[in-house]
Amino acid sequence: MYTIKAVSLASGVSIETLRAWERRYGVVRPERDASGRRAYQPADVIRLKKLREATQNGHAISKLAKLSDEQLDTTALQAQSAEALENNASAFVQRMLKAAEHYQPDHCDHALSMAMALLPLRDVIKQVLSPVLKSVGERWHQGSFTIGQERIVTQCIEKHVTIALDNYNRITSGQPIVFATLGAERHEFGILMSALLAASHGFRCVYIGPEIPAEDLAVLVTRVNARALIMSFVFNKTANNQRELKKLLALCPSELPIWAGGKEAESLAAGITDQRLLVIKHFDRYEQELTLLAANKA
């Protein structure tokens, strides 16, 4: 259960606006604690964040209040907006790939700079960076991209994401979230982009990078008093990673939330019953959990 202050901070809806929305439109119906204060469920936090984003896109709260959570995700105007955004994002993806094809790192850099300036950050990550990295990986495996062409794109992305992450960290404070990959996991771009998205939600983020031994990672999260530990698992070495993860769970503070994402995360977590471990399967679920974690900060 969350206080009205926590919900306001996590959803971006001011306390005054939240009270007005509840009174006039019944957008959520919080319970009351023993002292008569509002007490909100996790679902309320997620719904209010969706409502705030929809109103920023021009929708009237009086109409939005009547919609279910599913309808909020699938209104016609939202779909049209998403389609236009996807088309714009696709153009940046193609510009970056074309720049790599022609060995033009400056053009690749310019395309990503424009994308980050013109698109919401979550859409840069979801609609530009993820598709670019996937396409580059496929082309490299097929032999149609050289290592040099692959590096033009990956170094461009690493530079821009690192700079943006550093800029966010300059204006945040409090307990950090630690981001890393464990053991022999070399794939770091997913976790790097996850750190950037968390930073945009107001969290201070400590990005450690790939291939960190469990013992070292446990010491680090303890010493920095981490709010949470987030890891990515893409490399198909489930048995080795699972041994490292079990070791990490045994060494980390008992109250530390540990999230695992990436295509191998679910198989990795099979058989592990530790309640601290949460497998994040989808991008939208990750954002929802960040929203709830922000509410828990207050």
Summarised one tens digit per residue, pLDDT across range 164-179 is 999 888 888 889 999 9
Q: Average of pLDDT values for 96-117?
A: 94
Whether pLDDT at 296 is above 70? yes
Q: Are 25 and 65 in contact (CB under 8 A)?
A: yes
Cα separation, 171 vs 297, in Å, equals 16
Confidence of residue 88 (pLDDT cuts 50, 70, 90): confident
Whether pLDDT at 235 is above 80? no
Cα separation, 102 vs 40, in Å, equals 54
Q: 3-class SS at 101?
A: helix
Structure tokens at 233: 């698992």
Confidence of residue 80 (pLDDT cuts 50, 70, 90): very low
What is the pLDDT, as a whole number, of residue 79? 45
* pLDDT above 90 as % of the chain: 46
Q: Average of pLDDT values for 219-233?
A: 95
**Kind of pairing, strands 31-32 and 38-39?**
antiparallel
Q: Are 225 and 255 in contact (CB under 8 A)?
A: no
Identify the residue with better confidence: 135 or 53. Answer: 135
Summarised one tens digit per residue, pLDDT across range 134-156 is 999 999 999 999 999 999 999 99
Summarised one tens digit per residue, pLDDT across range 9-28 is 888 888 889 999 999 989 99
* Domains of the chain with bracketed CATH: 4-73 (1.10.1660.10), 84-166 (1.10.1240.10), 172-297 (3.40.50.280)
Lowest mean pLDDT, pick from 51-55, 85-89, 183-187, 203-207? 85-89
Cα separation, 65 vs 74, in Å, equals 14
Structure tokens at 146: 């050289």
State the average pLDDT for the chain.
Answer: 87
- CA diameter of the chain: 67
What is the pLDDT, as a whole number, of residue 56? 74
Q: Average of pLDDT values for 93-103?
A: 95
| Amino acid at residue number 132 | V
pTM score, two decimals? 0.76
Confidence of residue 82 (pLDDT cuts 50, 70, 90): low
| Amino acid at residue number 14 | S
Cα separation, 111 vs 93, in Å, equals 8
Burial classification of residue 180, based on how many CB atoms lie within 10 Å of its CB (0-12 exposed, 13-18 middle, 19 or more buried):
buried
Direct distance between the N- and C-terminal alpha carbons of the chain, in angstroms, rounded to an integer? 12
Cα separation, 145 vs 231, in Å, equals 28
User: Residue with structure tokens 């990515």?
Assistant: 232
Whether pLDDT at 62 is above 50? yes
Cα separation, 72 vs 50, in Å, equals 7
